A and B are shown apart, each in its own frame.
Chain A
Amino acid sequence: DAKTTQPPSMDCAEGRAANLPCNHSTISGNEYVYWYRQIHSQGPQYIIHGLKNNETNEMASLIITEDRKSSTLILPHATLRDTAVYYCIVRGNTPLVFGKGTRLSVIA
């Protein structure tokens, strides 16, 4: 599976959009981009995934660049409950391989 690069930490003001970047320059054509998050003392929670097109669900939006070498997860109106570690994972026909993720702190 392609490796991903994420900033170790980010801050976001409550009510503002949180934009979490991810680089995956070695992604191959059949690999999906997945985002999970992990709130303290809980298991990872699925957020969203995509292959080529941008995706949106009730939790977030996923923007994938045209060359698929990077993506951005957007939480449109961050709340304190969005404070968590966010993992960007590129996955083909294999289990999820987690890196260290981005620790997002939402500040009141």
Chain B
Amino acid sequence: TQLLEQSPQFLSIQEGENLTVYCNSSSVFSSLQWYRQEPGEGPVLLVTVVTGGEVKKLKRLTFQFGDARKDSSLHITAAQPGDTGLYLCAGTFGGNTGKLIFGQGTTLQVKP
């Protein structure tokens, strides 16, 4: 059974600060996605990583995929109140199924 551990679960910071969210698995990911979810809405895809060691940037967000493809991180530079939300990592673990296994999420609050 694949499990994803996300940390921290909650993060409350001031506008302008940097932060990092971590996602770890006991199994090797086939692919890993990061989503952002706002209250009452479905998750919105931020990025997909598939190659070990891969780094992707999306404006102030930097995503890293571990060399062994068992961990990932999301780093936000100079956080803004608009970054507030639930950040979810989700992975696939091979086979023909695309079902996603999600972490429990990181709730981020950025105070102005």
A binds B: no
Which residues on B are within 8 Å of A, measured CB to CB?
none
Which residues on A are within 8 Å of B, measured CB to CB?
none
